[in-house]
Amino acid sequence: MTTVLIVDDQPLQRFGFRMLLDSNPDTSVVGEAGHGAEAVRQAAELRPDVVLMDIRMPGMDGIEATRRIIAAGSRSRVLVLTTFDLDEYAYGALRAGASGFLLKDAQPEELLAGIRAVAAGDAVVAPALTRRLLDTFIERGVTTTAEPDLRLAALTEREREVLQAVARGLTNGEIAELLVLSESTIKTHVSRVLAKIGARDRVHAVIIAYEAGLARPEPGQ
């Protein structure tokens, strides 16, 4: 059973999400919040597996709420819901520590699958969207350091190759084909990479790779 905290400033939106999640045998809504400050408080008290986070709310928005929930060392993982697939606010939430984002008009099965994935420790961003997010990341002029990044020091050469492929937005299957390895081997490598560089999930690993200068935008992107 995956426990969920719903955060949205629209009561009807929260009601719809609750109806969907309560009708699903694998999810349980443990609380609702109408703004970011309440979300932070309830996340600390209720310790849900997943926080379903709206971005645009009065007072404390979803980005700041996400940042505070993650900074507090919460076991909860944040899944952002947004109305635009490249909404700058959603991008900011990913940098604040969210494990991914979905569109508010996603199909019910997509939302449920996203919640399950986030609860299991995966990142919910499609590879194509990952590439577009990285375009935005570079366009914003995020500087990389010329100094060796200590987060990457423990990686083997193969693990660096895997991280570079992840940073390109490739799936495990695509990486396996690229490196001529089994998909299960790639999954193992990805897990080790995340552990070694201290990444929360795949999205966080991609950001680290770009910040460290290990990855660069490909020509034509």
pLDDT recorded at residue 136: 64
- Looking at per-residue pLDDT, the higher value among 70 and 117 belongs to 70
- Looking at per-residue pLDDT, the higher value among 112 and 128 belongs to 112
- The structure's pTM equals 0.70
Question: Under a CB-based contact definition with an 8 Å cutoff, are residues 104 and 82 in contact?
Answer: yes
pLDDT at 107 over 60: yes
| Structural domains for the chain | 2-124 (3.40.50.2300), 136-211 (1.10.10.10)
- Looking at per-residue pLDDT, the higher value among 110 and 49 belongs to 49
pLDDT at 198 over 80: yes
DSSP-based three-state secondary structure for 27: strand
Buried b (16+ CB within 10 A) or exposed e, 124-162: bbeeebbbbbbeebeeeeeeeeeeeeebbeebeeebeeb
**Backbone dihedral region of 199: left (phi > 0), alpha (psi from -120 to 50 degrees) or beta?**
beta
pLDDT at 220 over 50: no
Structure tokens at 112: 């449920």
CA dihedral over 137, 143, 149, 151, signed as positive or negative: negative
Question: Under a CB-based contact definition with an 8 Å cutoff, are residues 104 and 81 in contact?
Answer: yes
Per-residue pLDDT of 156-195, as tens digits, reads 999 999 999 988 878 788 899 999 999 999 999 999 999 9
In the chain, the percentage of residues whose pLDDT exceeds 70 is 82
pLDDT band at 12 (very low <50, low <70, confident <90, very high): very high
Question: Under a CB-based contact definition with an 8 Å cutoff, are residues 80 and 66 in contact?
Answer: yes
pLDDT recorded at residue 186: 94
Mean pLDDT of the chain: 84
Q: What are the DSSP calls for 134-174, one per residue?
A: HHHHHHTT----SSPPGGGTT--HHHHHHHHHHHTT--HHH
